[in-house]
Structures are given as C-alpha cells and as structure tokens.
C-alpha cells in the first residue's frame, strides 16, 4: 500500500536533512551551552550576588534554564516555518513539483508540521540534556519538560507557517525575528517574571505562546505552580497551533492551486 502523501513529504524533508544535518546539529548542541554559560552562569552570578530577581528559592541558572528551553523551541520552529516554506513557494518551488504528483496541498501542510515536530523535539531533547549536565534539572524530571517545550514551539509554527505561505517578498522573513521573536524572547518571562514588567505590557505577554510555554515548562522543571491553571496554558498553545495550521492549509491551497 502506498504511503500517505504527508509521510512522503516528511520523507522528502528527512532526505534533505540527511545532507545538511551537520550545521544544525552543531548549533543545536552549542546554543544551549553558550546560553547557559553566558546568561545562566555569567549574568546569573551577578543576579545571585545581588539578591536575585525572583521570590523563588532557586538560583538564577535554575530559574532561567526552563525559560531558555521554551525560547529555543520557539526559535527553531520560527526558522523552520519561514525559510523552507518560502523556498517551497518561491525560490526552489518544490511544492509545485510535489503537486504534479497525487500529493495535495494538505499533504504538504501536514508533512510540514510532521517534520517540524521532529526538529523541535530534537531541539528540546538536546537542550534538556544540557540542562541535566548543568545540574538545573534532575534526570528523572527532564522528560516531563519536553512536551510543553515542544508544544510551545509548535504554537509558533502554526501562525508563522501561515504568515510565510502568503508572503510574496522574502524581506518579510527577517521582520519576524526582528519585531516578533526578539521582543518575545526578552519580555515573555524567559529572563525574569513578567510581573516585573510595567502593567501595560503584561497583558501582551499573556496572549503570546512563549509565555505559556515558559510557564508550563518552568513549573514542571522546578515543581512550582503556574500563574494560570495548567490546562488553560496548554489550551492557548493548542489554539495557536491549530488555528495557524488551519489558516496555513487554506493559504497553501489558495496560493498553489487557486
């Protein structure tokens, strides 16, 4: 029996990755080490010496690491949802080649998210392993934080994929990192609790997937309670994922078929 079209799309991504994996693997291992060394141990030593910035009984490195894990999946998801989609739509047009076969636009979308799940999962597992080495999380607790971190990444992948699917000019790709990813990285609770932000900024963090990813990942890593009910945090991330995927499905069809 022939494999579903979406699995063939995943296979296509895997075959390409087989030729390019070295660069991404190095950055995947190196980034968490550098982040935790610079921000956790470097900046963290100053924060701890100054009395800390949180009311929790944890050193800054332990507090920071789960937030960086969620942020890392966001960055992986964003990058993999922008440039490969633009390549398929405009640069190399391999989406058009695929559609000359029985593969449908929905297969392209489902396959895209299937491959994204693997890439985000790989990032989360590696980052969590580095956290264990740095002593910020126990080996027994480490598997628990992978799921919310992956879901946080997929919550970004949904709307970002839809955004990339309708782009005509590639200059809009860098704008996502400049005006969305970087501000969220700084102001969604990764480095400090958002209750330290001005009151008018805090509601903005509430409606972004990263804050919910940071909250759930940190709660499981540190054994603390989340600001909202955990189910509500997960629901927000699922809404972003599903809503973005549905919109991406429509935009793929509109741009490649209609």
- Three-state secondary structure string covering 110-130: HHHHHHHHHHHHHHHHHHHHH
On whether residue 96 sits in a domain, the answer given is: yes
On whether residue 7 sits in a domain, the answer given is: no
pTM of the model: 0.93
Q: Give the model's pLDDT for residue 50.
A: 63
CA 62 to chain centre: 20
On whether residue 197 sits in a domain, the answer given is: yes
pLDDT in tens, the chain (258 residues): 446 899 999 999 999 999 888 878 777 888 888 888 887 677 766 676 665 545 557 888 899 999 999 999 999 999 999 999 999 999 999 999 999 999 999 999 999 999 999 999 999 999 999 999 999 999 999 999 999 999 999 999 999 999 999 998 888 898 999 999 999 888 999 998 898 888 888 888 899 999 999 999 999 999 999 999 999 999 999 999 999 999 999 999 999 997
On whether residue 80 sits in a domain, the answer given is: yes
**How many structural domains comprise the chain?**
1
Q: Note down the domain range covering 227.
A: 58-256
Q: Give the model's pLDDT for residue 2.
A: 45
Torsion angles phi and psi, residue 141, rounded to 5: -85, -25
**How many Å apart are CA 139 and CA 169, to the nearest integer?**
45
On whether residue 74 sits in a domain, the answer given is: yes
On whether residue 190 sits in a domain, the answer given is: yes
Q: Please, are residues 252 and 165 in contact by the beta-carbon 8 Å criterion?
A: yes
Q: Give the model's pLDDT for residue 201.
A: 87
Structure tokens at 198: 């001005």
On whether residue 9 sits in a domain, the answer given is: no
The three-state (H, E, C) secondary structure of 128-157, written as one string: HHHHHHHCCCCCCCHHHHHHHHHHHHHHHH
On whether residue 251 sits in a domain, the answer given is: yes
């Amino acid at each position: 029996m022939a494999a579903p079209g979406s699995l063939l799309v995943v296979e296509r991504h895997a075959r390409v990755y087989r030729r390019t994996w070295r660069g991404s693997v190095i950055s995947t291992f190196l980034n968490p080490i550098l982040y935790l060394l610079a921000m956790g141990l470097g900046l963290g030593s100053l924060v701890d010496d100054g009395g800390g910035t949180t009311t929790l009984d944890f050193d800054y490195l332990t507090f920071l690491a789960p937030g960086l894990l969620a942020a890392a999946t966001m960055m992986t998801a964003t990058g993999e949802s922008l440039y490969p989609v633009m390549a398929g739509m405009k640069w190399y047009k391999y989406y058009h080649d695929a559609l000359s076969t029985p593969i449908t636009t929905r297969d392209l979308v489902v396959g895209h998210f299937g491959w994204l799940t693997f890439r985000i999962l790989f990032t989360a597992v590696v980052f969590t392993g580095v956290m264990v080495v740095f002593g910020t999380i126990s080996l027994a607790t480490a598997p628990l934080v992978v799921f919310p971190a992956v879901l946080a990444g997929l919550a970004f992948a949904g709307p970002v994929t839809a955004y990339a699917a309708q782009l005509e000019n590639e200059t809009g790709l860098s704008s996502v990192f400049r005006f969305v990813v970087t501000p969220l990285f700084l102001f969604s609770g990764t480095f400090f609790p958002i209750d330290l932000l001005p009151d008018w900024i805090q509601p903005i963090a509430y409606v972004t997937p990263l804050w919910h990813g940071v909250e759930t990942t940190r709660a499981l890593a540190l054994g603390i309670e989340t600001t909202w009910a955990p189910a509500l945090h997960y629901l927000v991330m699922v809404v972003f994922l599903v809503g973005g995927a549905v919109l991406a499905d429509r935009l793929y069809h509109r741009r490649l078929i209609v």
